[in-house]
Amino acid sequence: MSTENAPPIWEISGTAPGAIALEDHRRRVSFAELEERSNAFGHGLESLGLVPGDHVALAVGNHAKFFEALLGAMRAGMVVTPLKTSWTAPEIDYLLCDAGSRAVICEGDAARTAAQARGIAVVDLEHGVRGTGFETWLGAQPSAPLPRARHGFRLSYTSGTTGRPKGVHRLSDGQRPWCEAFAASRAFAAAAAAPTDGPHLNVSALFHGAPLAFSLSLLASGCTVRILPRWDAEAALDALARDVRSTCMVPTMFRQLLALPEDRRRAFRAPGLRAVLHGGEPCPQTVKQRMIDWLGPIFTEYYGMTEGGLTTCSSAEWLARPGTVGRARLGLQVVILGPGGERLGPGAQGTIHFLPPGGKTFEYRRAPEKTAAAYSRDGAFTVGDVGYVDADGYLFISGRTADVIVSGGVNVYPAEIEEVLAGSPGVRDACVVAGPDELRGETPVAFVVLDEHLRRAGDGDGDGDGENTAIAAIAADCETRLAGYQRPRRIVVRDALPRDPTGKLLRHTLRAELWEGHASNFAAPAR
């Protein structure tokens, strides 16, 4: 193996050592400091017994140390998975087990508890490492460059309708040194036409795949990445006004910005802002038009997934074809397939597939049957979305075949919630579907059938006290066992749930009931 060292990160990024790489609410980090601290982080993981190829879970909030830890682990050759900071200890434990994690980098109780229960190494940003304060521990590590021949990468986890997260192993990951992969990531920002002559503002949780990928891509392009500690509409406007060139949002953020007082919006000025990237959930046409009317044609919409698909659409393209999410990028081709796997022509609605130029691009970790189900006969893959392309190859999304709920840009999986509901005493049947939400787009709504004795319980006059008590108990169960974004916003009691003659649950019937009188969130309703 070559002993050549990796080039410094400022050299990869084409900038000066003293240029600012990261800026959060606490500190500014130059590219030279990021080089030193990320190398030290990588050496520190090695001091804990880790070797290249080991898996590391990263459960850290929005600040510069997230990037220092992520880059340090990958530079050392580790495989890293950023975790949702809202995950509970059992959710984290499942991933640690599935990924075979050797270490957890954290600053919260849930990840700390899960790691300690499994007896794996913990790098705790709050409580230190093996009795030593974190900064003292990091400062004691060598900061010399790590070898070039380290092939670390991010392993993202995504869930299906079964609710269990599954690792998405892109077959190109780990096939070249991290420094080369980092340099190549500039193509991601280029595909979205993101400017590279000024700061990029990250307003989303850093564990989200696309916002993190854009931030890393722009960092690799020599940009400063500024990091909001958490999403806040007022704070975001203030930060955008500070000579920011680009940012990445989800439509829920658009709704919250548009809900600000009109005089606040009219007074907003951000002359340097040239690109607002957005995706992660459907954007209603009225919402996007209002944002363009307010800030101008600076919006680039993307549609993509962890598995590797990507389309982009400029404001000009969208205004010419309202509702489109654009055309395929990075050498991919969008194909629409019918129920028998046949290719459909322009305007015909079917399941959206991406066809890579070189064959299969990913596999689900330890799930060959799910991998096989994602691919068509000719090697195109899908995550189950439905739509059509026009004669010029522009894609329009009209719905989902999967049951996933997208609430505020975060995927919520009904099966996870239904498992909790099924364990609540007195619940005989349950179904969770997406209901409309003015700010978050969609929100989980639970329909439950209660045991007959609960429906009749109470003080004997049939006023529903037993039902109310049961609903309160279900809500308490959800609060204890589910993360906040997963908890149903409504619990509706029914005598029975709709099923077909074979017993299959008719989720679409309940969804249609909730959405009656509301506009579809999908940018291009089915034609």
| Burial of residue 471, with CB atoms counted within 10 A of its CB: 0-12 exposed, 13-18 middle, 19 or more buried | buried
* 470 shares its domain with 345: no
Give mean pLDDT, residues 343-367: 93
pLDDT value, residue 376: 94
**CA-CA distance, 522 to 178, in Å (whole number)?**
37
pLDDT at 12: 97
Token output for 374: 């994602």
Share of the chain above pLDDT 90, in %: 73
Domain that holds residue 466: 406-515
296, 314 Cβ separation under 8 angstroms: no
Q: Please indicate, yes or no, if residue 7 is contained in any of the structural domains.
A: no
What is the side-by-side strand order in the sheet with 427-437? 427-437, 441-450, 490-493
Within this chain, do residues 324 and 365 fall inside the same structural domain, yes or no? no
The CA distances from residue 336 to 1, 303, 343, 404, in Å, are: 45, 15, 6, 20
Of the residues 309, 330, 351, the one at which a domain ends: 330
Percent of the chain with pLDDT over 70: 94
- Which pLDDT value is given to residue 58? 98
Q: How much is the pLDDT for 359?
A: 84
In a domain, 291, yes or no: yes
- Give domain status of residue 525, yes or no: no
Do 199 and 77 fall within a single domain? no
Confidence of residue 417 (pLDDT cuts 50, 70, 90): confident
Considering the domain architecture, whether residues 191 and 301 belong to the same structural domain is answered as: yes
CATH, residue 293: 3.40.50.12780
The residue out of 147, 176, 205 marking a domain boundary is 176
Both 312 and 373 in a single domain? no
* Residue 446 near residue 432, CB atoms below 8 Å: yes
| pLDDT for res 4 | 94
Per-residue pLDDT of 290-333, as tens digits, reads 999 999 999 999 999 989 899 999 999 999 999 999 999 999 99
Same domain flag for 321 and 342: no
What Rg do the C-alpha atoms of the chain give, in angstroms? Answer: 24
Asked if 431 and 493 sit in the same domain, the reply is yes
Specify if 374 maps to a domain. yes
Does 524 fall in a domain? no
The helix or strand, by DSSP H or E, that contains position 474, with its residue range, turns out to be helix 465-481
User: Could you tell me which residues come within 8 angstroms of residue 262 by beta carbon, excluding any fewer than 6 positions away?
Assistant: none
Q: What is the number of structural domains in the chain? A: 4
Mean pLDDT for all residues in the chain: 91
What CATH number has the domain bearing residue 441? 3.30.300.30
Per-residue model confidence (pLDDT) at position 524: 59
Asked whether residue 32 falls in the same domain as residue 160, the answer is yes
CATH of the domain at 380: 2.30.38.10
- Whether pLDDT at 382 is above 60: yes
**Between the ranges 68-82, 270-284, 402-416, where is the mean pLDDT highest?**
68-82
Specify the CATH number for the domain of residue 93: 3.40.50.980
| Span 157-172, pLDDT tens digits | 986 444 578 899 999 9
Contacts of 267 (CB under 8 A, 6+ apart): none
Does residue 143 fall inside a structural domain? yes
What span, in angstroms and rounded, lies between the C-alpha atoms of 362 and 442?
29
Top-confidence residue, 359 or 355: 355
pLDDT digits (tens, 9 = 90+) for 434-468: 999 988 889 999 999 998 777 665 444 445 577 88
Quick check: helix, strand or coil at residue 46? helix
pLDDT at 1: 43
What pLDDT band is residue 142 in, cutting at 50, 70 and 90?
Answer: very high
Please report the pLDDT score of residue 420 as a whole number. Answer: 87
pLDDT reported for residue 160: 47
Strands (E), 421-479: 427-437, 441-450
Establish if 4 belongs to a structural domain.
Answer: no
Domain identity same for 273 and 161: no
Same domain, 35 and 74: yes
Highest mean pLDDT among 221-235, 353-367, 400-414: 221-235
**pTM (2 decimals)?**
0.83
Choose the final residue of a domain: 305, 330, 355: 330
Q: Are 146 and 166 within one domain?
A: yes
Q: What is the pLDDT of residues 113-141, one digit of tens each?
A: 999 999 999 999 999 999 999 999 999 99
Residue 116 located in a structural domain: yes
Q: Give backbone dihedrals phi and psi of 392, rounded to 5 degrees, phi first.
A: -100, 5
For residue range 187-243, list pLDDT tens digits in order: 999 999 999 999 999 999 999 999 999 999 999 999 999 999 999 999 999 999 999
385 lies in the same domain as 243: no
